[in-house]
Structure 1
């Protein structure tokens, strides 16, 4: 019998459909192989034979299986190895004890942040209880920093404070680690939603003729209206000026393009010597690689999906998608092949374990291998 016929008989044996005639053929073949096996295989030959057999037989193997039997207990010849293989898939529980190593799940991020006060003191916000007073700022402690019942940082300015005084040193910084997000209400009532691996520096109260904050990373702003005091967001050479509006800024250091997406109102984008006005539904793209500020229509829901607890991809390239996962799950991504033409549309929830998110992405015929906190991507 040739190899194809033998494998066909083995498949029938596994399914329990082997006829008496075929069983006689299989027994005869097995006895012939056993009687003609008069040599011992070396450890390396044995391993090669085992791997070859495993690839040919119709067996179902769990990934990362560790056998408790030592190698010396494995058959010392290819005939006995074949015999063991036949027995393996008919009576696995009686012959082999297996321990299956289940890959450790990588959990999603959550509400995590660090507040740095004007005196340099750092406060881990996970250690603060809701409704607690975090600190007081100003020479006369005219600003109270609290955490409200929803875990949002709020700044409450004493109404009797001298608003004409400009305390240049009274700045705070809110930062988020990998897998962290945090919300804050500034002293003027502006709401800021800070994404992972981001930071925002701001004054504890807005004195003077403008409201200026500095951003690294990504944040969504709901700016309190004040026609007499424009609100400005500065990120490197890029600046955004508004009076009262809702917009998202994506300005990560490891991203080549700074993206500002407008949902409501109007904003002015300034970059070097250029200026552009955005309308709702538009996004500006700024980069050292561009000659001018690029403006395009976008799906605003995709731009702020992170704020609403979702990953949403609108024709996003694979590396952009994986950078989001790196920041949220604290993973490292490696690529084994060209993935430049892979695009994604759709999404999923950010509260899922990484394995569930990768299953969604695999629908686009991309394969992932998880090795600890490293994700290997295969096109």
Structure 2
């Protein structure tokens, strides 16, 4: 079974997995968290060495033995000359076969070697999420789907398929590194989860408030309902809205709230004031203070369109974003300083090596990929 699963993972990574096999692999992943962890580990470590291993498995001694056997069957007079020409032809055939096999395998994977640039290249992420229900049940959401809906107490994929038939009160949807997911809440509010983020919400909103909790980065388009304020709890911040669209980011100690349209008011657990934001404003809550500034809101919400970053940012800022999306760790030399700030638009679908190539030209640095570590020089 292990060999079958390994083969399916290889096919999935290189784009040759059938619909039937995809269902088998997904079912195996959903059997347990251990299976999913094994999948993530295997998927992340596959690279060009796979081709090398398959090539090295060719038994050359056995192949030459078969050639010698054919030679021995020839008449004695012509055996010497025949042996020379057959060995020569066999060598050419073997060389051509290996080359053809290598080329075919590379074509099947549809990988441009000029883009890879390294055997340790990292592929981009996709749509992955784990949903944990209040009864303890956990389900890995189908990676072929990008949206989860909660309607009339039922959790369904965007195509209408039911996720679970269990009766639960709350659910937490969380995304791993390198993944995003869209969630529609019971009231019609839409939430987009960035990598390493989560949203906790009830199966049904009851009472006077619609309260949820978020971690990481979440973009929300809140359904209007003046009678039932929408409350978002993020770390030590409480944010209240009526009907609006905004982005909330709480990866670090500071919580960054960017308002696209509508109106929100927020307060910190350790602050003694409540502030209101207007469209195009951003609030940064850190420790005991809230700082408000004017920003281009679209620069902070463009990630929901498949772009990692599109604003005037430092190299360190960008590397932090790349760490969450590609699951790598950037290592800077001691005392490293780079004050350059560049406007960039990074496509999430690009391989890491392609992104780093662009950054090298923009920031005049060099990168070296070593497994899950990227060294900056």
TM-score of Structure 1 vs Structure 2, range by shorter chain: 0.5 to 0.7
Q: CA deviation at 1:126?
A: 2.2
Runs of 4+ in 1 over 3 A off after TM superposition: 127-131, 133-136, 153-156
2:232 matches 1:224: no
2:254 matches 1:257: yes
Q: CA deviation at 1:207?
A: 0.1
Q: Which residue number in structure 1 is paired with residue 343 of structure 2?
A: 345
Q: CA deviation at 1:102?
A: 4.2
- The one of 297, 304, 324 aligned to 1:300: 297
Q: Which residue number in structure 2 is paired with residue 106 of structure 1?
A: 122
- The 10-residue stretch of structure 1 (180-189 or 318-327) with the greater mean CA deviation from structure 2: 318-327
More helix by share: 2
Question: What do residues 257-306 of structure 1 show as CA deviations (whole Å, max 9, x unaligned)?
Answer: 21000001001011132211111111101111xx5210111121220121
Residues 155 and 184 (structure 1 numbering): CA distance in 2 closer, same or farther, change over 3 Å? farther
Q: CA deviation at 1:366?
A: 2.2
Does the aligned pair in 2 maintain the 1:318–1:343 contact within 8 Å? Answer: yes
Question: For structure 1, which runs of at least 5 residues remain unmatched after alignment?
Answer: 1-99, 137-141, 157-166
Does the aligned pair in 1 maintain the 2:309–2:318 contact within 8 Å? Answer: no
In 1, Cα distance between the equivalents of 2:253 and 2:375? 23
Q: CA deviation at 1:134?
A: 9.7
Does the aligned pair in 2 maintain the 1:155–1:187 contact within 8 Å? Answer: no
2:234 matches 1:235: yes
Residues 128 and 117 (structure 1 numbering): CA distance in 2 closer, same or farther, change over 3 Å? farther
Q: CA deviation at 1:130?
A: 9.0
Residues 150 and 247 (structure 1 numbering): CA distance in 2 closer, same or farther, change over 3 Å? farther
Q: Which residue number in structure 2 is paired with residue 120 of structure 1?
A: 136
- The 10-residue stretch of structure 1 (303-312 or 242-251) with the greater mean CA deviation from structure 2: 303-312
Q: Which residue number in structure 1 is paired with residue 331 of structure 2?
A: 334
RMSD of aligned C-alpha atoms? 3.0
Residues 121 and 335 (structure 1 numbering): CA distance in 2 closer, same or farther, change over 3 Å? same
TM-score normalized by the length of structure 2: 0.63
Q: CA deviation at 1:174?
A: 0.2
Q: Which residue number in structure 2 is paired with residue 374 of structure 1?
A: 373
Question: What do residues 104-161 of structure 1 show as CA deviations (whole Å, max 9, x unaligned)?
Answer: 3211110000011121111000278799x9999xxxxx6111112299x9999xxxxx
Q: Secondary structure at the match of 1:356?
A: helix
| 1:50-65 to 2 correspondences below 5 Å | none
Residues 143 and 334 (structure 1 numbering): CA distance in 2 closer, same or farther, change over 3 Å? same
| 1:76-87 to 2 correspondences below 5 Å | none
Does the aligned pair in 1 maintain the 2:127–2:143 contact within 8 Å? Answer: no
- The one of 135, 139, 154 aligned to 1:144: 154
Question: For structure 2, which runs of at least 5 residues remain unmatched after alignment?
Answer: 1-112
Q: Which has the larger radius of gyration?
A: 1
In 2, Cα distance between the equivalents of 1:352 and 1:188? 35
More strand by share: 1
Q: Which residue number in structure 2 is paired with residue 15 of structure 1?
A: none
